[in-house]
Amino acid sequence: MTQNNSKTADKLSDLLTVSEAADYLGVSSSTLRNWDRSGKLTAQRHPINGYRIYKCRQLQKILIGISDGESG
């Protein structure tokens, strides 16, 4: 793997699909999409297919908020 491909793979490993992110947070995919529409969580879009993708770091912040008793 070239250095550029390696960097791209590293970036992609930080991104989760809707179902992966929902599993990570312990919520349904529908809840995740609702949070995206309401602005609680902002998805990025995959550059080729337009699907929602989420950064692990952003999901960790959501988990911290949930554990701190923050409600959405």
Q: Tell me, what amino acid is at 72? A: G
Q: Is residue 33 within 8 Å of 52, Cβ to Cβ?
A: yes
Classify 55 as helix, strand or coil: strand
pLDDT of 64 reads 85
Q: What global pTM score does this model have?
A: 0.70
- What is the rounded radius of gyration, in angstroms, for the C-alpha atoms of the chain? 13
Q: Where are the alpha helices (DSSP H) in the chain?
A: 3-13, 18-25, 29-38, 56-67
Which residues, in sequence order, are bridge partners of residue 14? none
Summarised one tens digit per residue, pLDDT across range 15-72 is: 999 999 999 999 999 999 999 999 988 899 988 999 999 999 999 988 887 766 655 5
Q: Where are the domains of the chain?
A: 3-66
pLDDT of 14 reads 84
pLDDT of 9 reads 43
CATH architecture group of domain 3-66 = Orthogonal Bundle (1.10)
